[in-house]
Chain A
Amino acid sequence: MTAVIEETSSGPAPADKPARDHTPITITLRVRRFLPDLVGPNGEPPVPFWQDFQVEADPTERILTAMLKVKGEQDGSLTFRRSCAHGICGSDAMRINGRNRLACKTLVKDLDVTKPITIEPIKGLEVEKDLVVDMDPFFQSFKDVMPFLITSGNEPTRERLQSPEDRERFDDTTKCILCACCTTSCPVFWTDGQYFGPAAIVNAHRFIFDSRDEGAEQRLEILNEKEGVWRCRTTFNCTDACPRGIEVTKAIQEVKRALIFRRV
């Protein structure tokens, strides 16, 4: 069954736009590949290469779906991470036509299909195989900012109270799915892998601005270090890259301001 938007204007809310085009088209995926087991005949180390795959796709289809077709029908060795396939789990961050995105939130129709669609691993993390990168340094930065609620004193019997306004204060940064789109779009991170990177700062922000938390000072000290927020050059790549629509650069700026005024 294929979902189609109804063309007629029956029902309580008229849908007066044309149906989406589902005519299959042939697209070319130009994938940056690296096969670590592919050692040359004389023991030469494996090298990355480009490979084109032609695949039939419905324009409303996700790039991930096209990649799954390639893997299932053409080349089982094509390797990438994926899980939920609708932008919640953060597994399939990759560089599509030069921009960091989730393959499951990028639709064919939103790309220029007259040219090959380039697909590369996200930058700044070591490539393990094809689009799979080593995520451990990324998660280490996350862990380094103490991404958990810090409180003192006795726990209340019921819930801690928090006004809707206080809850709203850090809502944006609770949306992070740790996909690494932001961190690996950051030019500072590309040149200096020691930089905490936007995602870690987003997750520090999520607690620094939570009215229930008492660990802001400790986190701010960590982020005040050499590899902390001051490395940010405000290029907004991270904000553009975030598939969850988090205003990443703004969050980083808020952390900087909190450091200057020591007030959250």
Chain B
Amino acid sequence: MQIHKYDTVIVGAGGAGMRAALEASKNSRTAVLTKLYPTRSHTGAAQGGMCAALANVEEDNWEWHTFDTVKGGDYLTDQDAAEIMCKEAIDAVLDLEKMGLPFSRTPEGRIDQRRFGGHTRDHGKAAVRRSCYAADRTGHMILQTLFQNCVKQNVEFYNEFYVLDLLLVEDAFGNKTTSGVVAYELASGEIHVFQAKAVIFATGGFGKVFKTTSNAHTLTGDGMGIAWRRGLPLEDMEFYQFHPTGLAGLGILLTEGARGEGGILRNADGERFMERYAPTIKDLAPRDIVARSMVLEVLEGRGAGPNKDYVYLDLTHLPAEQIEEKLPDITEFARTYLGVEPTTELVPVYPTAHYAMGGVPTNVEAEVLSDNTTVVPGLYAAGEVACVSVHGSNRLGTNSLLDINVFGRRAGIAAAKYAATADFVELPENPAATVVEMIERLRDSEGTERVAAIRAEMQETMDANAGVYRTEETLKQALSDIKNLQKRYKNVSIQDKGKRYNTDLLEAVELGFLLDLAEVLVVGAANRKESRGGHAREDFQARDDVNFMKHTMAYREVDADGDYSIRLDWKPVVVTRYQPMERKY
């Protein structure tokens, strides 16, 4: 076991982690631990853009952006956080441009902007051109630009280091303080303890609980799972976003920017069905509304294809040059993976599990909370792993790239500032014990269960029972399936017993996190007897502001036998200037 000492340790090297690193490494000795080489992170798969009210192409302002974000989140958005994000969005975009990001340009040479779902002018009057983009490769450009600047700034990376535990030290009153993290080095199988004054989690989401997802294989919720097992709460986990336009059957993302450029959704009859569901902004309604509309079309028999189980994205009326110039990558995805030519043919699409609105609760300084208000000194989170909550119950398109830049930056600044005055907290005795025990148990297990089989069954039940629409019954089924899979997981074994590059072992570890998070998601969903944003209950179809306009806080409570149960509590929504209204588009 090796022990390292840094002022600030950042876990994850996607957009949030690297944006944090650029700030933290200026003022504190910083290490970035990442289970992937930084440029492999899933920020790179984001396509359509990053919204900011630059007003480069039409009138716009950050207050309109804030309103859209709050309304888009179905009034579960914390309005103080949304206001900060939308205000700082403008500098966040300009900062990236100054770092070298090659945005698409207007004829005058300014950053070009395009329409995106739920982003409107003057509080919903019409769609507005707010998304700053680089063709349909905005996430790729952000990831590359941030990595390039990390190279320029000599940021220290530990590549293919899997952080598997968070070290928190408790005082006599049960108050937790951060003392570091424990990591597993893929190349050698060695355990490394990183003592740190400040730790920033930027580990991304957990889309792999679902089968049909736009998420990478590596998005297994490690950061959320680690925090959860260390007794920290998770907020709003039942709110999971399904992106409307995944390639049917595959889940590969086709950007909402396709509709921003004028693309239209059609059912089997060729009808532009979004006109019925969102008469004003139609295909550019927020994702939760579009995804539900698509599922309803299919359920009511208007789905396309031999099994009537998808709808179409129609780009055929757009000039081929516009498609090639503005949407080159998604055009290629349709060609490669479905054999469809988007300039002349309709593209089969269906909702795909995409983004966790919930996560580790933080305040607007990215400080992690251990209850509704108590800060865990030295612990920060930013990006999809965190719940600030700027996205409420449904994130607007482009606001995730914005979130990682605004709150990644804030986390980096706050962590370095904290590290400048704080002392190192002594490591707990035998700091790596939990990780060593977990690794050895998995490696030595002679159980009969296989990781891939349990994972596939978890994904099947989550797709079937905790997807776009949920009921009491389906959620009960999902919970019983997950409980059963958790039992079977105890009997899981791996085949690769080696030390070096043991991805078999790490897939087993990751599955453990996924099963934990699937359970929290389903328990939260069963408890929320209303429909709001990304959480749609067939048995409780209305939004219920009287009983449920509040965040879910899930706590893992361990009893004397070491068994745990999930306790649900609530956290009030921060309302500043917008009172909840009916959500119509």
Question: Interface residues, chain A, CB within 8 Å of chain B?
Answer: 1-7, 10-13, 15, 19-20, 35-38, 60, 62, 68, 71-73, 75-77, 79-91, 105, 107, 128-130, 132, 135, 139, 142-143, 146-149, 155-156, 158-164, 166-167, 170-171, 174-178, 207, 210, 212-213, 245
Q: Specify which chain B residues have a CB less than 8 angstroms from the CB of A213 in the assembled complex.
A: 100
Cα(A3)–Cα(B266), bound, Å: 16
- Which of B41, B305, B451, B456 has the most A CB atoms < 10 Å from its CB? B305
Q: Please tell me which stretch of B385-393, B433-441, B491-499 contacts chain A, meaning at least 4 of its Cβ atoms lie within 8 angstroms of it.
A: B491-499
CB distance from B163 to the nearest CB of A (A): 17
A35 contacts B498, C-beta separation under 8 Å: yes
* One of B44, B134, B247, B504 near A88 (C-beta < 8 A): B44
B339 contacts A20, C-beta separation under 8 Å: yes
B270 contacts A86, C-beta separation under 8 Å: no
* One of A37, A91, A166, A177 near B140 (C-beta < 8 A): A177
Q: Specify which chain A residues have a CB less than 8 angstroms from the CB of B500 in the assembled complex.
A: 36-37, 128-129
Cα(A35)–Cα(B504), bound, Å: 13
The answer to whether B102 has its CB under 8 Å from any CB of chain A is: yes
Q: Known: A20-B339, A161-B108, A167-B105. Is A72-B137 also a contact (CB below 8 A)?
A: no
A159 contacts B97, C-beta separation under 8 Å: yes
Cα(A89)–Cα(B495), bound, Å: 27
Q: Which 10 A-B pairs have the closest CB atoms?
A: A72-B452, A149-B100, A3-B249, A37-B498, A76-B495, A161-B109, A77-B496, A76-B504, A148-B152, A129-B501
Q: Specify which chain B residues have a CB less than 8 angstroms from the CB of A163 in the assembled complex.
A: 105, 107, 109
B266 contacts A11, C-beta separation under 8 Å: yes
Q: Known: A3-B310, A36-B498. Is A158-B45 also a contact (CB below 8 A)?
A: no
Cα(A177)–Cα(B312), bound, Å: 30
- Give the contacts of B337-380 with A (CB-CB under 8 A): 337-340, 344-346, 348, 350
Q: Please tell me which stretch of B32-40, B68-76, B517-525, B534-542 contacts chain A, meaning at least 4 of its Cβ atoms lie within 8 angstroms of it.
A: B32-40
* One of B37, B44, B217, B495 near A85 (C-beta < 8 A): B217
Q: Known: A37-B498, A129-B501, A167-B104. Is A83-B249 also a contact (CB below 8 A)?
A: no
- Give the contacts of B102-134 with A (CB-CB under 8 A): 102-111, 134
- 24 A-B pairs, CB-CB below 8 angstroms? A1-B309, A11-B346, A13-B344, A13-B345, A35-B498, A84-B42, A84-B44, A84-B217, A89-B39, A91-B40, A107-B336, A107-B337, A146-B152, A148-B148, A149-B98, A149-B99, A155-B98, A159-B94, A159-B110, A161-B110, A163-B109, A174-B102, A174-B134, A178-B37
The answer to whether B450 has its CB under 8 Å from any CB of chain A is: yes
A37 contacts B499, C-beta separation under 8 Å: yes
Cα(A212)–Cα(B270), bound, Å: 46
B99 contacts A89, C-beta separation under 8 Å: no
Contact string against A for B residues 289-327, beta-carbon threshold 8 Å, 1 for contact and 0 otherwise = 000000000000000111101101010110000000000
Q: Specify which chain B residues have a CB less than 8 angstroms from the CB of A60 in the assembled complex.
A: 337, 339
The answer to whether B566 has its CB under 8 Å from any CB of chain A is: no
* One of A72, A143, A176 near B151 (C-beta < 8 A): A143
* Beta-carbon nearest neighbor of B139 in chain A: A88
CB distance from A36 to the nearest CB of B (A): 5
Cα(A37)–Cα(B188), bound, Å: 10
B270 contacts A11, C-beta separation under 8 Å: yes
- Which of A75, A91, A155, A245 has the most B CB atoms < 10 Å from its CB? A91
The answer to whether B252 has its CB under 8 Å from any CB of chain A is: yes
Cα(A72)–Cα(B329), bound, Å: 30
B37 contacts A135, C-beta separation under 8 Å: yes
B249 contacts A77, C-beta separation under 8 Å: no
Cα(A87)–Cα(B47), bound, Å: 13
* Beta-carbon nearest neighbor of B140 in chain A: A88
A160 contacts B108, C-beta separation under 8 Å: no
- Give the contacts of B421-477 with A (CB-CB under 8 A): 450-453, 455-456
Q: Known: A1-B307, A11-B304, A129-B501. Is A86-B451 also a contact (CB below 8 A)?
A: no
Cα(A139)–Cα(B150), bound, Å: 13
CB distance from B319 to the nearest CB of A (A): 15
Cα(A153)–Cα(B97), bound, Å: 16
The answer to whether B218 has its CB under 8 Å from any CB of chain A is: yes
Cα(A37)–Cα(B505), bound, Å: 14
CB distance from B352 to the nearest CB of A (A): 11
A85 contacts B105, C-beta separation under 8 Å: no
- Which of A83, A149, A161 has the most B CB atoms < 10 Å from its CB? A83
Cα(A73)–Cα(B507), bound, Å: 13
The answer to whether B248 has its CB under 8 Å from any CB of chain A is: yes
Cα(A43)–Cα(B10), bound, Å: 40
Q: Is the interface of A mostly helix, strand, loop or mixed?
A: loop
B216 contacts A11, C-beta separation under 8 Å: no
- Which of B339, B450, B451, B499 has the most A CB atoms < 10 Å from its CB? B339
CB distance from A202 to the nearest CB of B (A): 12
Question: Interface residues, chain B, CB within 8 Å of chain A?
Answer: 36-37, 39-42, 44-45, 93-94, 97-100, 102-111, 134, 137, 140-141, 144, 148-149, 151-152, 187, 212, 216-218, 247-250, 252, 266, 268, 270, 304-307, 309-310, 312, 314, 316-317, 329, 332-333, 336-340, 344-346, 348, 350, 450-453, 455-456, 494-504
Q: Known: A12-B346, A84-B45. Is A79-B100 also a contact (CB below 8 A)?
A: no
B452 contacts A5, C-beta separation under 8 Å: no
A73 contacts B452, C-beta separation under 8 Å: yes
* One of A1, A68, A176 near B350 (C-beta < 8 A): A1
Q: Known: A149-B99, A174-B141, A178-B39. Is A12-B340 also a contact (CB below 8 A)?
A: no
Q: Known: A13-B314, A77-B498, A83-B218. Is A3-B45 also a contact (CB below 8 A)?
A: no
* Beta-carbon nearest neighbor of A128 in chain B: B501
CB distance from A73 to the nearest CB of B (A): 6
* One of A3, A10, A20, A147 near B148 (C-beta < 8 A): A147
Q: A11-B270, A82-B217 are in contact. List 4 more A-B contacts (CB 8 A).
A: A3-B310, A6-B346, A79-B501, A89-B42
CB distance from B467 to the nearest CB of A (A): 12
* Beta-carbon nearest neighbor of B90 in chain A: A158
Cα(A79)–Cα(B268), bound, Å: 43
Cα(A131)–Cα(B307), bound, Å: 38
CB distance from B457 to the nearest CB of A (A): 12
Q: Specify which chain A residues have a CB less than 8 angstroms from the CB of B309 in the assembled complex.
A: 1
Cα(A182)–Cα(B317), bound, Å: 36
Q: Specify which chain B residues have a CB less than 8 angstroms from the CB of A12 in the assembled complex.
A: 266, 270, 314, 316-317, 346
A86 contacts B45, C-beta separation under 8 Å: yes
Cα(A89)–Cα(B252), bound, Å: 13
A147 contacts B151, C-beta separation under 8 Å: yes
Q: Specify which chain B residues have a CB less than 8 angstroms from the CB of A210 in the assembled complex.
A: 100, 102
Q: Specify which chain B residues have a CB less than 8 angstroms from the CB of A161 in the assembled complex.
A: 108-110
* Beta-carbon nearest neighbor of A132 in chain B: B501
* One of B45, B344, B451 near A76 (C-beta < 8 A): B451
* One of A6, A160, A178 near B304 (C-beta < 8 A): A6
* One of B99, B104, B332, B345 near A15 (C-beta < 8 A): B345
Cα(A243)–Cα(B134), bound, Å: 19
B496 contacts A5, C-beta separation under 8 Å: no
B100 contacts A148, C-beta separation under 8 Å: yes
- Which of A82, A107, A132, A148 has the most B CB atoms < 10 Å from its CB? A148
* Beta-carbon nearest neighbor of B94 in chain A: A159
